[in-house]
Amino acid sequence: MSARDYLRRDLLDWENYQVQPVQGRKMDANESPFTLPEKVRRELADWILAQEDFNIYPDTDNTVLRQAIADYYGFGLDWITAGVGSDQLIDLLAKAFLEPGDRILVQSPSFSMYQTTAEINHGTAVSVPLLPEEDFRFSADTIIQALQEQQPKLLFICSPNNPTGCGIPKEDLIRILEAAHCVVILDEAYGEFSGADSLDLIRQWPDLISLRTFSKAYGLAGLRVGYALAHPDMIRAIDTVRAPYNLNTFSQIAAARVLGRPEYKERIQWIVSERERMQQALAPLEGTCGFHLFPSQSNFLFMRSEVEGLGAKLLERGLLVRAYGGAMASYIRVSISEQEANDAFIQAMKEIIQA
C-alpha cells in the first residue's frame, strides 16, 4: 500500500494552493512595503530577552491580543477570536458549520481560499459572477437571488474584493443581511485601505462575521495573525473547532503591540496616495491594446490587457506580479509597493502596452 491508497478519494487529484517562487521585486501578494517600525522591533527584542517562558505553551485564549483588539474597537472580549492568519479562521468556519454537501456562496473572481477550504471540509462552493463590464462591482440583487436558489450555509463577501478591488456599498450589504438565512462572512482583509466601517453592522447582526488580518495594512504577514469580530454566540461556535494554543506567544504579543499605533495610519495613507498616483500614471494607457484599469479601494491594482504573457513580460523586467491562467489570462494584479518598484512598474507598463 502507498499513501495514495489511503488518501481520501476526493483528494486524489487535489491541487494544493500554489505559491509562485519569489523572484524580482515582490508585487504579487499584497504584502505591505513597510516592515515593523524600528521602535517596535526594539521593544520586541527587549521582550524576548526578558522572556523566560518559551518552554511553556502560549495562552490558549490569546487574551493579550484579544484585549488589544477589544480596546481598539470598543468591543467586549467575547466578541473576538484569533487565528493563525485569517486563513485559519476561514478553515474554522468551514469546520464549524459545513456538513457534507452543504453549500457556500462566493463571488467569482474572488479569494480562492473560500472554495478550497470548503471543499477540503466536504462542502461545495457555488459562485456568483462579478462582471468585467460592470468593473466587477457587487450586485446585491444577484447575490440575494442566489441565496434564495442555493440556500447556502455560508456566504462569503470579500470587501474590498481580492483580486478585483471593489468594495460592497453598505446599503447593499444591509439588503443582503436582511435577505440572508445563513452565516455571512465579510472578509475585510483590505478594509483599512477602503475606510469602510462595518462595526455597527457587526453589533447589530448576529449572523455577520468580520474577518480581519495583520498581514496586509499592519505588515505582519510573516507572523500569521488574523481575527474575527462577531456576536459572542458566533465566536463560541468558531472556538468549538479551534485547536488549543493556535497562536504562538510571539505573534500574539507582536500583533497586540502594533494595533492602532499612529505610524500605521500614516503608512495606510501613504499606500492609498501611492495607489492614486499609480492610477493617474496608468490612466493614459486606457484603451491601448485593450488596457483597462479597474477601480480599487485596496492596496493593489487589477487590470486587463490584450498583451499576451503580460505577467512574464513584467518578470523579464524584474517585477513579480500576480498573473492568472485560464479565463483570467488577460488580467494581472499588482500590489502597491515601495515607490521605486511602483515607478518601475509604471515605466514597464508604458513600454509594454505602447510597444
111 near ligand PLP, rule: CB under 6 A: yes
Closest to ligand PLP by CB, 102 vs 188, is 188
List CB contacts of 354: < 8 A, sequence separation 6 or more: 285, 288
Of 64, 144, 177, 221, the one binding ligand PLP (CB under 6 A) is 221
Location of C-alpha cell 495583520: 214
In the complex with ligand PLP, which residue's Cβ is closer, 87 or 172? 87
Q: Which of 33, 109, 152, 226 binds ligand PLP (CB under 6 A)?
A: 226
Between helix 140-150 and helix 170-179 the angle, nearest 10°, is 20
**31 contacts ligand PLP (rule: CB under 6 A):** no
Residue labelled with grid coordinates 497586540? 256
- Interaction between residue 85 and ligand PLP (CB under 6 A): yes
Q: Which amino acid is at 69?
A: I
Separation between Cα atoms, residue 158 and residue 174, nearest integer Å: 15
Task: Please report, in angstroms and rounded to a whole number, the separation of the first and last CA atoms in the chain.
Answer: 57
Among 28, 87, 172, 192, indicate the residue that binds ligand PLP (CB under 6 A): 87
Residue of 187, 255, 305, 352 interacting with ligand PLP (CB under 6 A)? 187
**Residue 336 found at the interface with ligand PLP (CB under 6 A):** no
State the CB neighbour count (10 A cutoff) for residue 176. Answer: 21
Angstrom CA distances, 190 to 195, 231, 349, stand at: 9, 21, 25
Residue 162 or 305 having the CB closest to ligand PLP: 162
DSSP-assigned letter for residue 207: T
Using CB under 6 A, pick the residue from 130, 147, 158, 254 that binds ligand PLP.
Answer: 158
For ligand PLP, the binding residue among 32, 121, 215, 249 (CB under 6 A) is 215
List contacts with ligand PLP (CB under 6 A). Answer: 30, 85-87, 111, 158, 162, 187, 189, 213, 215-216, 221, 226
